Chains A and B, each alone.
Chain A
C-alpha cells in the first residue's frame, strides 16, 4: 500500500521552486536612543528625558559642557523630538515600551510649560529648570515649537486627553506670534515645526481656529521664500531647512497646492545640487559649504523630500530622499558608516573627507531616527536607500478581481505605475468571472500558469497558498515591508501573520460590516441586543391587512450557505466576542457566550416571526422598505447611490453589542482581501514595488473614491491624504472608523467547513428552533473540533 501510494505521490506532485529573494526589509533600531534616556524628577513627577551628549568611546550620558554655558543635563528640545521617534514606533508596532517612553518624555515636556503656552528648555540634574540661559528662557522659541509638535502627535497617537489644555495654550501662543508677523524664535525651522504640530493637531481637532492658525503659518513660511529658498535673516543651513517638509504637509492637510509649489522650488533648486549627503549650508556667494555635515542636517532634507513626494505624487522626490539617506550607511564623502544597524546609533557628523565625529548625542540620533523611520515607511525611498540593483526590464502579470470597477481601477493604477517605472510592464488580466477565484488560482498553480501578482486573495485561500509554498513572504521583501510599516500597525497585522511570523499577502482592503438602517423607520440606531429586540418587535408589521406580516426590522437570510453568515451571525458574534473568532491556531474558539447570545438573538426573532422567513429572491427588501435594517459592507453604499431610490433615507451605525458588553471591545467583521506575489515570479522586486504602489496613499484614495471600498490602513479617518475621500459616500466615515477593529475569517484550511457547521447550528437553533442555542453551539464546537483535529 505504501509503495503504491509513494508511486502515486511521485507521479502526482511537483514541488514548486523555492521563492526568489528580493531586497531585504529595513527598520531602524531604537536601542541606542533608549540608552540615551534618563529619568528625572521635576516638581515631584517622575519623567523621562534624553541625555544631550554621549561621546566616543564609551557613550556615557554627558551634560551640556561649560563652553556652552552649562545649560543643563537635558532639554525639551531633544526630549520633544525623541518623543516623536517613539510615537512613530508606537504607531507601527504598538510596543508598550515605546508607548511608555513616549508618554514619559511628553510628561517632561508638559512639566516644562509655564502655564501660558511658553516653555523653558533646559533642566539641571536635580530637576530644576534653567531659567536664565538665552537658550532656555521662558518664551515661545524653537524649543516651544518642538514641544507643540510633540504634544500634538502625542495627543493624536496616545489619546491623552490631559494634553489638550497645554496644547491649546501652545497653539494660541503660536497664533499670537503669527499675528505679530514674527517667525517663531526668528527661525524658519522653528515656525515650520510649530506648523507641523498644528497640522498633526488638526487631524484630531479640526477646529476653524486651528485651521486658521495653520493656514497663516504656512502663508508666513511662503513669504520667507527668496530666490528659491526659505530663509529669513540668516544664511541657509541644512538643519534649518524644515520649511519644505512643513509646506508640503500643509499642502496636503489644508488642500492648498500652492504651498507644495513653494516647497518644490527649494527642493528642485537648491537641493538638487546635493550629492553624497546634505552640506552644512550656503556660503554668501551661493556656493555650497560642505562641512561639517551633521546627522541633524540630513533629516529635514530627507523628510522634506518625502513629504513632497506625498504631496505631489512624484516618486522622484522619494528616490532622492533614499539616495541622500545613504549618507547614513556609507554614501558620504568620508565613506563612513554613520548609522550602526545593530544598535541604531548614529555618529554626530563628518568634519571633513577624512575626519568623522564619532560622538553620538541626542539631537543627531533623534533626527537620524526620524529620517530613517520616514525612509523605512516609503517603498520607493527604501529601494533607493538600499541601492537595489536594477534588474532590467520586467514583465509582470497582474490579476485583479473580476468586477468592472476594480478592473478599471487596476488598469488605471497599472498605467500610472508604468509611467513612473519605465523598466516595468504590467499586464492586467482580470480573473475570469467563474465560480470563485480560489479555484482559478489553485488550478493556475497546478497548471504552472500563475500570475506574478494577484489582488483577490482572501484568508481561506491564503492558508492554502502558503501551504503550497506558492507565495512570496512580504514582510521581508523591501518595498512591501516598507509599505506594511507605513500602512498598518502590528495589531492590525496580527490576524494575517502566519504561525512562522511571516506576512504572505499584503492586506489590501477590508469591508467592515455595519448596520445600515432606514432613517425614516428607525430614529435611533440600536446599540445593544435589547434595543435590537425592541426594534424587531416594533417594526414587524402587517401593512396590507391580509393577516400576514409583510414588514420587518431586519433582513436575515434563513439559508444555511456558509457565506451568508457574514451578514448575520458572524458580525453579531464578533460584536460581543472581544476579538475571538471561530478558529484560533487550529483550535475551536467560538465555544463561548457570545456565540450563544448571537444565536439566541436571532432565534428570538424567528420564533416570534419578527424576522422574515423568506429569501426575497430577485429583490432587495431594504431598498423597497420591506425591511428597515440590513447588515452590509461599504460597497453597498455605492449601490445605494447608483440606484437612487427615491424617498430612501439611510444611515449607518456599528453592529449592536450584547447587553453588558462595551462597544469599545467590539470588533466588526471585515473580510480582508489581500495582494500576493507568487513565488513563480521572476521579478520579485519589481512585483514588490508594484504591490507597494497599489497600496500607496494615492491608490488607496482612489479605492475609496471610485470603488467605495476601504483600504486596510491605520488612522484612516484622520489621514489627511485620504480622509477627505471618505466624504464621497454618505455613511462611509462611520464604517471607516471600524477599519482598525476588524476581524476576518481565520486563515485555516478548514475554515469553510467550520463555517458550514456553524451555519447549520444557526439553522437549527435560530431559524427552526429545533435545538437550544447553547446546545447548538456545543454540538457545532464538537463537530468542528473533529474537523480541525485531523
Chain B
C-alpha cells in the first residue's frame, strides 16, 4: 500500500517533468483555435504550424549552423585541448605552472565579467556575423583541459617512455597512445562541450545579427521575441524542432549524458 502511494507520488513528479513537453509537441499540431487547450490530442491535427515556421524562419539553416558550430568546437576542445593537457601532464616546460594556474583560475572567473570585452574584441576584429565569432573564442575550454589533464596523469609513465623509445613524436603519443585509453574522459568532455555549445544562446545573440548565421536556440529566441512567430503553435514548433534531436539522442545515450554532465562537476 505504501509502495503504491510512493509510486503514485513518484509518477506524479515524473509527469510534472514530462507533461509540459508532451503538451508542447501536441500544441504544435493544433490549429490556432485549439491552442492552449488541455488535451494532448488535437481535434483537427495540422502541419500548418510547421509549414509556417519553415516559411518564416531559416530553421534548416540554423540547425546546420548549430551543428557546425557545436561539432567544430567539440572537435577542437578535444583535439587541440589534448595538446596542452598532455604537455601539462607529461612535459616540463617553462611557464608550466603559469599555464596550469591560469587554467585553474579561469574556472573562477564568472562569464559576466568577460562578456562585454569579448564582444568588443569581436567587433574590433570585424568578426560580427561570422562563424569565427561563434567558434574561435571556444576553441579551448578550461574545464576540458583540466579534465583531460587529470586523466592523462593517470596513464602510466612507462607507456609514454616505451613509446618514446620507439621513436614516436610527442604529438603521435597524444593521439596514438593516450587517446585510445582516454575514451571515457573524451566522451565526457565531448558530450558536455557539445551540449553546452548547442544550447548556448547569449553569446550568439551578442555577436550574430544576420539570420543566416544564427544558431537554432538563437533563432528561436529572436523568432519568439520579434513577433515573427505569430501564434503559439508556430513558436512552439520552433522550440520543438530545437529540442527533438536532443531528446532523441538523450533517449539512447541517457546514461552517458548524465554521467558526463553531472559527473563532470564532481571532478
Contacts and interface: CB of A to CB of B under 8 A. Distances in A.
Contact of B211 (A434, A447, A448, A618): A434
Given A433-B211, A435-B209, A440-B209, A618 B124 contact: no
A69 to B, nearest CB: 77
Contact of B232 (A434, A439, A446, A618): A618
Nearest to A12: B124
Nearest to B212: A432
Nearest to B214: A434
Given A12-B124, A446-B123, A447-B128, A439 B209 contact: yes
**Among B123, B209, B212, B230: residue with most chain A CB under 10 A:** B209
Contact of A443 (B128, B212, B222): B128
A449 B231 CA distance: 38
B69 to A, nearest CB: 18
A544 interface: no
Interface in B84-108: none
A617 interface: yes
Q: Looking at chain B, what size class is its interface with the partner chain?
A: 10 to 19
Interface in B180-211: 209-211
A618 B209 contact: no
Contacts of B226: 435
B110 interface: no
Given A617-B232, A618-B32, A432 B126 contact: no
Contacts of B210: 432, 434
Nearest to B127: A447
Contacts of A434: 129, 209-211
Contacts of A446: 123-124, 126
Interface in B213-238: 222, 226, 229-232, 234
Nearest to A434: B209
A447 B120 CA distance: 12
Interface string A421-441: 000000000001111000110
Nearest to B209: A434
**Among A446, A447, A448, A618: residue with most chain B CB under 10 A:** A618
Q: Looking at chain A, what size class is its interface with the partner chain?
A: 10 to 19
B222 A618 contact: no
A206 B181 CA distance: 92
Contact of A618 (B120, B123, B212, B231): B231
A443 B232 contact: no
A441 to B, nearest CB: 11
Nearest to A432: B210
Nearest to B233: A618
B209 A432 contact: yes
Interface in A398-443: 432-435, 439-440, 443
Contacts of B230: 618
Nearest to B230: A618
A432 B211 contact: yes
Contacts of A432: 129, 209-212
A35 to B, nearest CB: 58
Contacts of A440: 209
A644 B226 CA distance: 24
A787 B212 CA distance: 36
A661 to B, nearest CB: 34
Nearest to B210: A432
Given A435-B222, A618-B32, A618-B230, A443 B123 contact: yes
Nearest to A442: B123
Nearest to A561: B225
Interface string A446-465: 11110000000000000000
Given A617-B232, A618-B32, A618-B231, A447 B126 contact: yes
B218 to A, nearest CB: 11
Contacts of B128: 443, 447
A253 B237 CA distance: 55
Nearest to A14: B124
B234 to A, nearest CB: 8
A317 B129 CA distance: 47
B17 to A, nearest CB: 26
A433 B226 CA distance: 11
**Among B32, B128, B232, B234: residue with most chain A CB under 10 A:** B128
Contacts of B234: 618
Interface in B39-54: none
A440 B128 CA distance: 9
Interface string B111-124: 00000000010011
Contacts of B32: 618
B37 to A, nearest CB: 16
Contacts of B124: 12, 446
Contacts of A449: 126
A432 B208 CA distance: 11
A119 B126 CA distance: 73
Interface in B119-147: 120, 123-124, 126, 128-129
**Among A12, A433, A449: residue with most chain B CB under 10 A:** A433
Contacts of B120: 12
A567 to B, nearest CB: 14
Interface in A585-628: 617-619
Interface string A638-669: 00000000000000000000000000000000
A434 B231 CA distance: 21
A520 to B, nearest CB: 24
Contacts of A618: 32, 229-232, 234
Contacts of B212: 432
Nearest to B207: A443
A618 B49 CA distance: 13
A448 B128 CA distance: 13
A447 B207 CA distance: 14
A12 B120 CA distance: 10
Contacts of A433: 211
B235 to A, nearest CB: 8
Contacts of B222: 435
Contacts of B229: 618
Contacts of B129: 432, 434, 443
Interface in A1-60: 12
Contacts of A439: 209
A440 to B, nearest CB: 6
A447 B127 CA distance: 9
Contacts of A447: 123, 126, 128
Nearest to B232: A618
A17 to B, nearest CB: 18
A618 B223 CA distance: 12
A351 B183 CA distance: 103
B156 to A, nearest CB: 48
Interface in A664-681: none
A98 B126 CA distance: 53
Nearest to B123: A446
Contacts of B123: 443, 446-447
A435 B226 CA distance: 8
Interface in B150-186: none
**Among A439, A440, A447: residue with most chain B CB under 10 A:** A447
Contacts of A619: 231
A617 B234 CA distance: 12
Interface in A174-190: none
A757 to B, nearest CB: 21
B148 to A, nearest CB: 34
A11 to B, nearest CB: 9
Interface in B227-267: 229-232, 234
8 contacts: A432-B210, A432-B212, A434-B129, A434-B209, A435-B222, A443-B123, A443-B129, A443-B209
Given A440-B209, A446-B123, A617-B231, 5 more contacts: A12-B124, A434-B210, A449-B126, A617-B232, A618-B232
Interface of A: 12, 432-435, 439-440, 443, 446-449, 617-619
Interface of B: 32, 120, 123-124, 126, 128-129, 209-212, 222, 226, 229-232, 234
5 smallest CB-CB distances across A and B, nearest first, come from A434-B209, A618-B231, A447-B126, A432-B210, A618-B230
